[in-house]
């Protein structure tokens, strides 16, 4: 069996907030400028970081996750990328050992070395102790360190000297990035959407130019090999065309931006034709649509505009009255309620298909991996929201929280159903169960 190979690293840290996305974006852009073919993946459920990394790398960023995506599907994605690219960067989630499965678990599953990002703004030599602990706790193969938020060349040298003092297999300082005067802006669900960041391309170029990369150390990193036979094992190639001849209308704009690229690919593999439309632009559900997908996003930031989008609201009510299958996830569900109360406690009228109101809150309401089980099996995904749904509706079913095999899974997000409308805070990763997805969009009972 033939093999494909690429230089692969998993970029992780001790915790969130160390600058993993900034560093990954800067490294991707720098390697592109050096003529390398770069592919980037994001570990775990995430929508916004992949958008930023796509802008940096120029290629769509897919998810890797041992549970949500699955071991073999993740292996197939890596094998395909290795056949097409020189470099594969995998941005981890949270800290290296956080979660079940963790970023370290993914690195170990595929024999991928780890590149540790450390916020060195308030330390110097202690970076060596932190990275040695990250390496040895698992243990994992530690490829090197990128010191972020460095104050000066002297500061970077102190960190490099500390790396040489690590006992047994010293860890190289692979790169350093100075403290940024202007970082990537954030809001309650993470980074601001790329299209909202002024001069983003210039910012990415500047950060890539400022990334001091030790090319000798980088080129000394080993290549990771994958069997090309795994490329044919993707779920898409096994998917029957159960949605052949169907047109699925997908809301996509600044209010509905949380769409896994793999979800669109899955629908297309099922045979569906995709047509995008913008509720923010008051565009109606496209004529001829056989089903509607309302993904998550930031409707709370655009509630005033959405409340005035009468054509869009009338069209979704008409689609529901005609019995079109509608899947509304998180933000997509929020716009189908009677009212939305935003962060400033202003109340806005929504489409009114689901009785009750959604209220934004300052505290995180839910976060984590979940699964929704039905007659077609388990559909995996996650939840992440800062609002609550106050309603008289009785849930049709519930997702369950992902838990270790030894623990009893807890009840997760409520799933609401009205005819062919399914709505929930649950975000589904479609390739985890294409048959269940086909049932949802064809109007078959789950």
Would you say the C-alpha torsion 173, 179, 185, 190 has a positive or negative sign?
positive
Do residues 206 and 282 share a domain? no
Tell me, what's the pLDDT at 235? 44
Domain limits for position 409: 239-442
What is the arithmetic mean of pLDDT over 25-33?
A: 97
List the one residue out of 79, 372, 77 whose CA is nearest residue 228: 79
**Catalytic residue list contains 266:** no
Do residues 207 and 251 share a domain? no
Do residues 194 and 297 share a domain? no
Do residues 203 and 244 share a domain? no
pLDDT tens, residue by residue, 299-325: 999 999 999 999 999 999 999 999 999
**Integer distance in angstroms from the first to the last C-alpha of the chain?**
40
Indicate which CATH number applies to the domain containing 400.
3.40.50.880
pLDDT tens, residue by residue, 326-367: 999 999 999 999 999 999 999 999 999 999 999 999 999 999
Indicate which CATH number applies to the domain containing 97.
3.40.50.300
pLDDT tens, residue by residue, 395-414: 999 999 998 766 777 899 99
pLDDT tens, residue by residue, 271-287: 999 999 999 999 999 99
Do residues 216 and 359 share a domain? no
pLDDT tens, residue by residue, 206-242: 999 999 999 999 999 999 998 876 554 554 556 789 9
Do residues 136 and 256 share a domain? no
Do residues 168 and 24 share a domain? yes
Domain boundary among 176, 200, 232: 232
Which residue shows structure tokens 């599907």?
A: 73
| Integer angstrom CA distances of residue 399 from 227, 374, 445 | 35, 10, 16
Do residues 149 and 295 share a domain? no
Do residues 137 and 159 share a domain? yes
Do residues 315 and 404 share a domain? yes
- Judge contact between 131 and 116, C-beta under 8 A: yes
Question: How many domains is the chain partitioned into structurally?
Answer: 2
Which residue among 94, 115, 330, 428 is the active-site one? Answer: 330
| pTM of this prediction exceeds 0.95 | no
151 band by pLDDT with thresholds 50, 70 and 90: very high
Token pair for 46: 């995430």
Domain boundary among 170, 202, 232: 232
Asked if pLDDT for residue 180 goes beyond 90, the answer is: no
Comparison of pLDDT for 198 and 335, the residue scoring more: 335
Do residues 370 and 284 share a domain? yes
- Judge contact between 444 and 435, C-beta under 8 A: no
Do residues 264 and 308 share a domain? yes
Domain boundary among 232, 251, 274: 232
Asked if pLDDT for residue 165 goes beyond 90, the answer is: no
- Judge contact between 93 and 43, C-beta under 8 A: yes
């Amino acid at each position: 069996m033939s093999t494909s190979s690429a230089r692969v690293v998993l970029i992780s840290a001790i915790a969130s907030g160390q600058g993993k996305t900034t560093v990954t974006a800067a490294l991707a852009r720098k390697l592109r400028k050096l003529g390398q073919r770069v592919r980037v993946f994001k570990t775990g459920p995430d929508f916004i970081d992949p958008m930023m990394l796509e802008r940096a790398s120029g290629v769509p960023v897919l998810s890797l996750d041992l549970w949500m995506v699955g071991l073999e599907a993740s292996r197939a994605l890596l094998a395909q990328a290795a056949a097409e690219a020189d470099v594969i960067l995998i941005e981890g989630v949270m800290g290296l050992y956080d979660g079940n499965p963790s970023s370290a678990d993914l690195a170990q599953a595929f024999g991928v070395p780890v590149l540790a990002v450390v916020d060195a703004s308030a330390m110097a030599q202690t970076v060596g102790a932190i990275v040695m602990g990250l390496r040895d706790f698992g243990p994992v193969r530690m490829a090197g360190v990128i010191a972020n938020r460095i104050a000066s060349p002297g500061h970077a040298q102190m960190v490099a000297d500390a790396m040489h003092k690590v006992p047994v297999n010293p860890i190289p300082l692979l790169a350093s990035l100075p403290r940024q005067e202007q970082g990537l802006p954030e809001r309650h669900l993470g980074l601001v959407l790329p299209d909202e960041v002024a001069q983003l391309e210039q910012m990415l170029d500047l950060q890539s130019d400022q990334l001091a990369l030790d090319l000798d150390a980088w080129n000394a990193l080993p290549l990771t090999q994958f069997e090309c036979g795994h490329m044919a094992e993707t779920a898409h190639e096994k998917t029957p065309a159960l949605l052949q001849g169907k047109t699925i209308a997908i809301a996509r704009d600044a209010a509905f931006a949380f769409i896994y690229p793999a979800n669109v690919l899955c629908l297309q593999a099922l045979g569906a034709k995709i047509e995008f439309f913008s509720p923010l632009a008051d565009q109606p559900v496209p004529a001829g649509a056989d089903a509607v997908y309302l993904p998550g996003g930031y409707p709370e930031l655009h509630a005033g505009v959405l409340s005035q989008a009468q054509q869009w609201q009338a069209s979704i009510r008409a689609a529901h009255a005609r019995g079109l299958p509608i899947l509304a996830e998180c933000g997509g569900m929020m716009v189908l309620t009677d009212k939305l109360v935003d962060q400033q406690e202003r109340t806005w009228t929504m489409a009114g298909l689901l009785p009750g109101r959604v209220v934004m809150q300052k505290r995180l309401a839910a976060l984590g991996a979940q699964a929704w089980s039905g007659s077609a099996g388990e559909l995996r995904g996650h939840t992440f929201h800062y609002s609550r749904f106050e309603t008289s509706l009785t849930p049709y079913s519930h997702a369950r929280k992902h838990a270790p095999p030894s623990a009893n899974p807890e009840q997760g997000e409520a799933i609401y159903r009205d005819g062919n409308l399914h709505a929930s805070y649950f975000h589904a990763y479609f390739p985890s169960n294409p048959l269940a997805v086909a049932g949802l969009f064809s109007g078959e009972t789950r």
